[in-house]
Amino acid sequence: MLDFIRNWIINITVVMIFIMLLETILPNSDMKRYVNVVVGLLIVVVIIQPLMLVKDISLQFNKNVLEATAFVQQGSVAAQAVDLNRYRKQEALQLFEARIKGEIGRLLEQEGIKNDNARIELELATDIDQQDFGRIRSVDIYLDGGDSSAIEVNKINVSISKVDDGDDNKSVMNKDNGEYNFSDNSLTSKLKNSISKALGVEESAVSIRAK
Amino acid sequence: MDIFKIVMIGIIAAVMAVILREEKPEIAMQVSLVTGLILFLFIISKLDSVITVLKYFAGKANIDILYFSTILKVIAIAYITEFGAQVCRDAGECAIASKIELAGKVLIMVLAIPILAALMDIMIKIVP
């Protein structure tokens, strides 16, 4: 009993000293009043400790404090979890996009097109709440760049056939409108086919344009 | 002595801020902000040793860690809030400063809520 009273008095004294120190190092502001409320509650807790032991509800008190703390923190933790999940999905989407671009670049290189001359644009489903999140909606590949020799296309035959009405039916495929030539040649369809197979998307979702 | 360093930093920054305020007020604000941060970090390192000593004595006196950590959290919130509010006031943003103070007060109250709730519960149980 004497030991308990001794501990109780030590507790009160030490808490008082702490609070005195706290008062001195606290910034001079309006905040002091609010700090005093918390400190006052702590002093009450320390003072009523013997009563808690008499009724043997000390454990109950600690349990209540922990439960209330968990309840208060629950909301912020849940919000953080949502943010973290969103961030994780965005990161995964970026990684996915980079991988797909790398894969397309590899396919283009297989066909002899340098990656420097190709600009790949992907349209992905970015809405995290939707079920089709991350689905590839379209793939646009723009082939251009300063080095025109990098874009190798099949040999183009220029055929000009004379028709009855006198007009020339020209399927003119000259160097000046290489874009038209390219979009029509077999390499384009071969690329489209291989990309759609590799990514598991429909061929219509893949478009290749050359400048 | 550290206090000389702190005072010198403060005076130099104050002179610089006064000179710059005429020509470039935005730079003056940045000077005061950076000075505040430097002084704050300087104080924090000193405060750390004080807290270590307090922790040691708390352990020796067998004080419940719940009370001690709550007191430390309250001090930290009060200091950081005060610092943020002062920086905003220096920048002429009193409205933001008061919002920071409000946030600090709310967070201190949030710390108090578990103790208050448990205390109320105990009071009800103790009183026959």
Domain for residue A27, yes or no? Answer: yes
Residues A206 and A103 in one domain: yes
Render pLDDT for A72-122 as a digit per residue (tens, 0 to 9). Answer: 777 767 777 888 888 888 888 888 888 888 888 888 888 777 777 788 888
Domain ranges of chain B: 1-61, 64-128
Both structure tokens of B74: 């309250």
pLDDT in tens, chain B (128 residues): 788 989 999 999 999 988 988 888 888 888 888 898 888 888 887 877 877 877 777 777 666 666 778 888 888 888 889 888 988 888 788 899 999 999 998 898 888 888 888 888 877 877 76
Closest-CA residue in chain B for A65? B114
Q: Is the pLDDT of residue A210 over 50?
A: yes
Hey, how many other C-beta atoms are within 10 angstroms of the C-beta on B109?
A: 13
Residue predicted with more confidence, A57 or B111:
B111
Both structure tokens of A43: 């002093």
HSE (CB half, 13 Å, CA atoms) of B55?
A: 9
Both structure tokens of B4: 């000389």
Residues A104 and A160 in one domain: yes
Would an 8 Å CB–CB cutoff place A44 in contact with chain B? yes
Residues A41 and A129 in one domain: no
Strands (E), chain A: 118-124, 136-143, 159-162, 168-171, 206-210
Residues on chain A touching B118 (C-beta within 8 angstroms): 61-62, 64-65, 68
Phi, psi of A139 (to 5 degrees): -125, 120
Q: Is residue A176 classed as helix, strand or coil in its secondary structure?
A: coil
Residue after which a domain boundary falls, among A58, A84, A110: A84
pLDDT at A38: 84
What are the distances in angstroms from CA A45 to CA A61, A175, B118? 10, 90, 9
Interface probe with A: pick from B119, B123, B124, most Cβ of A within 10 Å: B119
Domain for residue A6, yes or no? Answer: yes
Residue predicted with more confidence, A91 or A184:
A91
Domain for residue A89, yes or no? Answer: no
CA proximity to A34, closest of B63, B117, B89, B73: B73
Residues A80 and A104 in one domain: no
Nearest by CB: A64 against B79, B108, B118: B118
Residues A111 and A61 in one domain: no
CA proximity to B54, closest of A5, A25, A27: A25
Whole-model pTM? 0.55
Any idea how long chain A is? 211
Closest-CA residue in chain A for B79? A27
Shortest Cα–Cα distance, B58 to chain A (Å): 8
Domain count for chain A:
2
Residue after which a domain boundary falls, among A84, A110, A129: A84
Q: Which residues pair with A138 in a beta bridge?
A: A123
Q: Which phi-psi region, left, alpha or beta, contains residue B11 (left: φ > 0; alpha: ψ -120 to 50)?
A: alpha
What are the distances in angstroms from CA B38 to CA A163, B7, B26? 87, 12, 19
Would an 8 Å CB–CB cutoff place A148 in contact with chain B? no
Residues A63 and A146 in one domain: no
Domain for residue A121, yes or no? Answer: yes
Both structure tokens of A166: 């006198």
What are the distances in angstroms from CA A42 to CA A21, A37, A65, B107, B116? 15, 9, 12, 17, 9
pLDDT at B15: 92
Shortest Cα–Cα distance, B12 to chain A (Å): 23
**A124 CB-near residues (< 8 Å, 6+ apart):** A93, A96, A97, A134, A135, A136, A137
Domain for residue A90, yes or no? Answer: no
Domain for residue A49, yes or no? Answer: yes
Question: Which domain covers residue A140, as residue numbers?
Answer: 96-210
- Whole-angstrom distance, CA of residue A192 vs CA of residue A205: 9
